[in-house]
Structure 1
Amino acid sequence: MDKPRIRPVIVPGFDPRSQPLVALDPLPDLPAQALQLDFLRSAFAEPIQWQVEPLFRSSFYPEFLPGSMNVRSAVCIGVMQRPEGPTVIFTRRAMHLHNHAGQISFPGGRIEASDLGPVEAALRETQEEIGIEPRFVRYLGQHPIFVTSTQFAMRPIIGELQAGFQLLPDSSEVAEVFEVPLAVLLDPQRHQLHHADLPDGAGRYYFSIPWGPYFIWGATAVLIRNLYHHLSAAWGQLSAGGDTQAKNL
């Protein structure tokens, strides 16, 4: 497989759903216990050794690169407990936006000079976009920075959404807010890999995770793949290391 292109040019009218699928090496299913919120907390509380999505390894960085022209940004991967199990909150971006119009994404945006860092930026943007106040988000951890094809350097912040928040979507940025079960997102059988041919003869690989009417793809899907890799490694390490909580979930 060719090395993924990091700076593809997507022409107007590009349809990510219609691009050819590429065979993926199978990944093992996560055990049901690893898909519970208690285990997610443990996975971020312990120093887990894990690797980012290998296909896009060159697009990940541990820290923001000094002097880079990439736009520093942060997103909030918000997980909440529902009666049927944990879910993750997403937005569908408004169609008139300049970047990623109509796409499925996590709440987030640029890190402003007034922000103390990525965590504060992700929480501020989450409140501005969908109305969830920072006091309802319990910080769990963060993942490596992903540099997108549109030159955003994106720091994923993982947080647990506490009961009691009120959704107040900003219609100027958000067309819809919805939740997807964590078990659906982290089911590797649902993950698809596409290859798109570009006008200049180059190609682009990207992941997608279709669910009902929603088509999660691109950077958002890669960040979900990273969460899978993190929890998969955590399950192996915590279970092998005798973690009582992991074994008793």
Structure 2
Amino acid sequence: MNFDELTRFLEKRVQLPLPGNSAHELMKPRLPNGAPIKMNHASNPRKGGVLILLYRDGENTYFPLIQRPHYEGIHSGQMALPGGRFEEWDGNQYETALRETREEIGVQEGKVEIIGSLSEFFVAASNYMVLPVIGKIDHKPGFIPEPREVADIVTPAVQDLINPTNLKEKEIIVQSGFKMQCPYFELQGRTVWGATAMMLSELVEILKEFGDS
């Protein structure tokens, strides 16, 4: 997928109404019987930001995903976009996404040109309201994983993300033994599901328009 054409399209498209929840629902995990998963939280959600970092390699477009290390937590071992929680010194969630990307995979903020953002997304499992920021960089960065937060980095092509043969579904059992029926993207042999898949689903729906433009 041509980097220049794609990024020009996205710069204009993110200024228009976004598909939002209708796209998120396409990748939403459910109980094995098909019922929705409900979670209640006593506190208001914290803010966070993640970065969909599009970069050029040749004439094609790629983006990094990270694999979280295994730890005692709800996102243990999962695939994710680089990002994290909003801190008081961040001016906004865009800065959060850029800072966390530098901390996690070593891409400096000044190297990234912001395209815009997708719809804010509520991550029910961790009680975060996350802004998926889209940025671009004109070459493949030299990624440096932060070992405490990143076990591995994979770099799928955007074309793989929108390839319908990579959209699949299976039962996933999380650490607590809780079972879910999950749509997922299979990217470079990795299972990308949950909140990350739901956010990426909005990008996929938008990119269907790019194919028609």
Residues 1:152 and 1:205: Cα distance change in structure 2 (over 3 Å): farther
Give yes or no for the alignment of 1:115 onto 2:112.
no
Q: Hey, what does 1:54 align to over in structure 2?
A: 22
Give yes or no for the alignment of 1:88 onto 2:54.
no
Q: Hey, what does 1:158 align to over in structure 2?
A: 134
Instruction: Compute the TM-score of the two structures, normalised by the length of structure 1.
Output: 0.68
Query: Pick from 26, 35, 43: which aligns with 2:9?
Result: 43
Shift of the alpha carbon at 1:138?
1.1
Shift of the alpha carbon at 1:180?
0.5
Residue pairs, 1:13-24, within 5 angstroms: none
Give yes or no for the alignment of 1:73 onto 2:19.
no
CA contact 1:191–1:208 (8 Å) conserved in 2: yes
Q: Hey, what does 1:233 align to over in structure 2?
A: 209
- Which of 1 and 2 has greater Rg? 1
Instruction: Compute the TM-score of the two structures, normalised by the length of structure 2.
Output: 0.79
Q: Deviations over 1:66-115 (max 9, x none)?
A: xx711211000111111262111011111126340110001000010100
Shift of the alpha carbon at 1:186?
1.2
User: What is the root-mean-square deviation of aligned Cα atoms in Å?
Assistant: 2.8
Shift of the alpha carbon at 1:215?
0.9
Q: Deviations over 1:127-155 (max 9, x none)?
A: 11111101111111100111113122111
Query: Pick from 141, 158, 164: which aligns with 1:188?
Result: 164
* Percent of residue pairs bearing the same amino acid type: 24
Which portions of structure 1, spanning 4 or more consecutive aligned residues, are displaced by more than 6 angstroms?
195-198
Residues 1:197 and 1:135: Cα distance change in structure 2 (over 3 Å): closer
Residues 1:54 and 1:95: Cα distance change in structure 2 (over 3 Å): same
Give yes or no for the alignment of 1:134 onto 2:100.
no
Letter in 2 for 1:181: A
Shift of the alpha carbon at 1:169?
1.2
Shift of the alpha carbon at 1:170?
0.9
Shift of the alpha carbon at 1:181?
1.1
Residues 1:204 and 1:52: Cα distance change in structure 2 (over 3 Å): farther
CA contact 2:184–2:191 (8 Å) conserved in 1: yes
Shift of the alpha carbon at 1:159?
0.7
Q: Deviations over 1:153-200 (max 9, x none)?
A: 1110011124374322110111011200110011133212457799xx
